[in-house]
């Protein structure tokens, strides 16, 4: 199943706001995505097509296209006669449910992925983790939204290598990473996660299933503990 999280940035690129996609619609999508992830567009707030048209200096068509795509990802809602709004923040209960689901599925998947690890898969995961670590965008918001997307890619690749498509799709369908990263816009969310991803990669490099399960469990628990203050 192809989905949008597979369309990660092709390379680091420069610091410009619009840098990743070759199509105008894609550029506009990335720009709005970044504003949603970094909370520049606040959860629950109205999104008017006209104001985005003015802000980006483009026509209505790419804006509507981008909003439609974001609607499919659960980040934007469209109400009849009212128009678009940013999806509200997930509730504390949904947050706990998402992490419980991840803890049930992802450590086990990491163990399975480790057991069938090879050099080709390892380099794909290293690449995904490496893209996250790059600090070449001068715009903090772009960097944050890039990290959110790459984190989704990194975890999705591990699910793919674990080999159960049903479990992989179940997690993809929740758009977990987009909702989680939108809780808080903070450098700590990304800095610490990078070290934890390193630990996961180290376990994969040794094809150590036990260590991979533990590293994934630690990472998800720490991620949960980092973001919980968003509800205080
Ligand atoms: Zn992660």
**Pairing of β 46-47 and β 76-79:** unpaired
Can you give the pLDDT of all 232 residues of the chain as single tens digits? 333 333 333 333 333 344 444 688 888 999 999 999 888 899 999 999 999 999 999 999 999 999 999 998 889 999 988 899 999 988 999 999 999 999 999 999 999 999 999 999 999 999 888 766 666 666 777 778 888 888 999 999 999 999 999 999 999 888 888 888 888 777 667 778 888 999 999 999 999 999 999 999 999 999 999 888 888 8
Cα(54)–Cα(60) distance, rounded to whole angstroms? Answer: 10
172 CA to centre of ligand 1 in angstroms? 14
C-alpha 30 to ligand 1 mean position (Å):
21
Best CA proximity match to 170, nearest among 63, 130, 124, 162: 162
- In the reported structure, the alpha carbon of residue 79 is separated from the centroid of ligand 1 by a whole-number distance in angstroms of 33
- Centre of ligand 1 to C-alpha 138, Å, is 22
- How many C-beta atoms surround the C-beta of residue 25 within 10 A? 17
Paired sense of beta strands 46-47 and 83-86, if any: antiparallel
- The reported pLDDT for the residue numbered 181 is 83
pLDDT on residue 229: 87
pLDDT at 135: 64
Q: Give me ligand 1 centre to Cα 70, in Å.
A: 22
pLDDT at 10: 39
What angle do helix axes 92-115 and 209-227 make, rounded to 10 degrees? 160
Question: Is residue 171 within 8 Å of residue 160, measured between CB atoms?
Answer: no
Q: How remote is the CA of residue 193 from the centroid of ligand 1, in Å?
A: 6
pTM (predicted TM-score): 0.80
Compute, in angstroms, the gap from residue 220 CA to the centroid of ligand 1.
7
Q: Where are the beta strands (DSSP E) in the chain?
A: 46-47, 76-79, 83-86
């Amino acid at each position: 199943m192809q989905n949008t999280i597979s369309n990660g940035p092709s390379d680091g690129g420069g610091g410009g706001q619009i840098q990743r996609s070759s199509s105008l619609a894609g550029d506009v999508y990335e720009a709005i995505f970044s504003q949603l992830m970094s909370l520049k567009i606040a959860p629950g707030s109205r999104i008017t097509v006209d104001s985005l048209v003015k802000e980006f200096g483009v026509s209505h068509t790419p804006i509507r296209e981008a909003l439609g795509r974001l609607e499919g990802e659960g980040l934007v809602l469209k109400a009849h006669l009212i128009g678009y709004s940013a999806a509200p923040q997930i509730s504390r209960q949904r947050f706990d449910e998402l992490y419980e689901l991840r803890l049930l599925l992802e450590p086990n998947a990491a163990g399975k992925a480790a057991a069938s690890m090879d050099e080709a898969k390892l380099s794909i995961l290293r690449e995904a983790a490496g893209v996250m670590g790059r600090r070449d965008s001068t715009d903090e918001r772009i960097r944050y939204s890039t990290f959110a997307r790459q984190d989704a890619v990194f975890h999705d690749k591990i699910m793919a290598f674990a080999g159960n498509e049903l479990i992989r799709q179940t997690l993809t369908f929740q758009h977990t990473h987009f909702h989680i990263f939108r809780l808080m816009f903070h450098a700590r969310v990304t800095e610490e996660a990078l070290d934890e991803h390193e630990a996961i990669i180290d376990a994969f490099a040794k094809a150590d299933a036990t260590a991979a399960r533990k590293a994934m469990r630690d990472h998800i628990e720490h991620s949960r503990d980092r973001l919980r203050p968003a509800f205080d």
